[in-house]
Amino acid sequence: MKKLIASALMTVAMAVATTGAHAAWPEKPVTMVVPFPAGGSTDNVARILSAKYQAQFGGSFVVDNRPGAAGMIGAATVKRAPADGYTVFVSSLGPFVIGPHLSKNAGYDPLRDFDYISVAVQAPNVLAVPANSRFKTIQDVIAYEKANPNKMTFASAGNGTSDHLTAELFWQQTGTTGIHVPYKGGAPAMNDLLGGQVDATFMNINTAVPHIKAGKLRALAITSTARSPILPDVPTMDESGIKGVTVYSWQAVAAPKGLPPEIKAKLHSATVAALNDPAVRSKLLEVGFEIVANTPEQFAAFQASEFARWKKVIELGKITAD
């Protein structure tokens, strides 16, 4: 009996000690791994969150850019990190639902190796062409592609990126074909689109809007469920009669698998509060982001659905990372 009592007391003491340790979090700098270079959409979201986390929790939240292999290097780094609350992952959809389908050696399993905290924001893609393009509507594009298979060129930031896969999905859903022209990043793809070296691209709305409003690009359709308030004259794919091409790029927060529940709850609460801060919210909405701020359970279900969806597109299109 004495041994049982002693064991029970030890268990309680350990639980109290563990709870106390988690309550003191963060006691040292927290690394926020972003698997892309500084200056992009994911990096900007991470820096907004890091400032808000710091304000709420104190301590230091440091953004660590780990680019390479379409985000898979950063994701693998997070997978190997201790699940102690001192490594946080802020990434776009690529490493979560696309990259592992393109590489047999991703170095992580996105369905098993992370604790999901929240999808922070999402943004649709816009089908855009140069302002002087012959294509005035998306129906013009479809008619041309059907009459001229594998002639129209679509730029992307690289194989397996959101703009590439949206084009592939568009071709699959409309029974058309085009030529994918991958670039090493969004900047060179944009330069050639503006210069007329390529015909079109499906780009993220926050990248497209400045050039559309400057009269350099023409937007033909948007991949959101409803028209965007910052591009109210641009019809959705669904409005244009094209079903199954509702696509969002998204940024989310996760951590290595096994994150203590107390820390997970704190991070989720802080993320939701940050995204709903009026100053942050208005800033994000102005550039085309939509606030999601969902629960860990909703994120996990969404991730599984997106993982299956893009797996099908990639397999049907025989897409590889090369």
Give percent above pLDDT 90 in the chain: 80
Strands 290-291, 200-204: pairing is unpaired
Write down the mean pLDDT value for the chain. Answer: 91
Same domain, 113 and 153: no
111 dihedral zone (left: phi>0; alpha: psi -120 to 50; beta): alpha
End position of a domain, from candidates 203, 222, 241: 222
Non-local CB neighbours of 16 within 8 Å, separated by 6+ positions: none
Asked whether residue 246 is domain-assigned, the answer is no
Confidence grade of residue 169 (pLDDT, cut at 50, 70, 90)? very high
* Whether 212 and 258 share a structural domain: no
Q: Are residues 256 and 197 in the same domain?
A: no
Same domain, 117 and 6: yes
Per the CB < 8 A criterion, the answer to whether 98 and 106 are in contact is: no
**Would the pLDDT of 161 be above 50?**
yes
pLDDT digits (tens, 9 = 90+) for 230-268: 999 999 999 999 999 999 999 999 999 999 999 999 999
Q: What is the CATH number of the domain that holds 267?
A: 3.40.190.150
**Whether residue 194 is found in the same domain as residue 275:** no
Q: What are the tens digits of pLDDT across the range 11-38? A: 444 444 444 455 689 999 999 999 988 8
More confident residue, 154 or 69: 154
SS (H, E, C) the chain: CHHHHHHHHHHHHHHHHHHHHHHCCCCCCEEEEECCCCCCHHHHHHHHHHHHHHHHHCCCEEEEECCCHHHHHHHHHHHHCCCCCCEEEEEEHHHHHHHHHHCCCCCCCCCCCEEEEEEEEEEEEEEEEECCCCCCCHHHHHHHHHHCCCCCEEEECCCCCHHHHHHHHHHHHHCCCCEEEECCCHHHHHHHHHCCCCCEEEEEHHHHHHHHHCCCEEEEEECCCCCECCECCCCECCCCCCCCCCCEEEEEEEEECCCCHHHHHHHHHHHHHHHCCHHHHHHHHHCCCEECCCCHHHHHHHHHHHHHHHHHHHHHHCCCCC
**Same domain? 149 vs 201:** yes
Q: Region 153-158: what's the mean pLDDT?
A: 92
Q: Is residue 237 part of a domain?
A: no
Contact (CB, 8 A) for 12 and 6: no
Phi-psi region of 70 (alpha: psi -120 to 50; beta: other; left: phi over 0): left
Same domain, 156 and 199: yes
Q: Tell me the pLDDT tens digit for each residue of 193-221.
A: 999 999 999 999 988 999 999 999 999 99
pLDDT at res. 14: 47
For residue 131, pLDDT beyond 60: yes
> What total number of domains does the chain contain?
2
Residues 212 and 166 both lie in one domain = yes
pLDDT above 80 for 300: yes
Question: What is d(CA 141, CA 138) in angstroms, rounded to the nearest whole number?
Answer: 5
| 275 assigned to some structural domain | yes
Candidate from 14-23, 42-51, 62-71, 173-182 with smallest mean pLDDT: 14-23
Residue 196: domain span: 124-222
Give a yes or no: residue 280 inside a domain. Answer: yes
Could you read off the pLDDT of 84-127 as tens digits, one per residue? 999 999 999 999 999 999 988 899 999 999 999 999 999 999 99
How many of the other CB atoms lie within 10 Å of CB of 318? 7
66 and 164 housed in the same domain: no
Does the global pTM surpass 0.95? Answer: no
Q: Are residues 197 and 133 in the same domain?
A: yes
- Same domain (yes/no): 56, 145: no
Kindly indicate the confidence band of residue 10, based on its pLDDT and cuts at 50, 70 and 90. low
pLDDT band at 70 (very low <50, low <70, confident <90, very high): confident
Same domain, 114 and 156: no
Give the pLDDT confidence score for residue 5 in this predicted structure.
55
The domain that holds 186 is classified in CATH as: 3.40.190.10
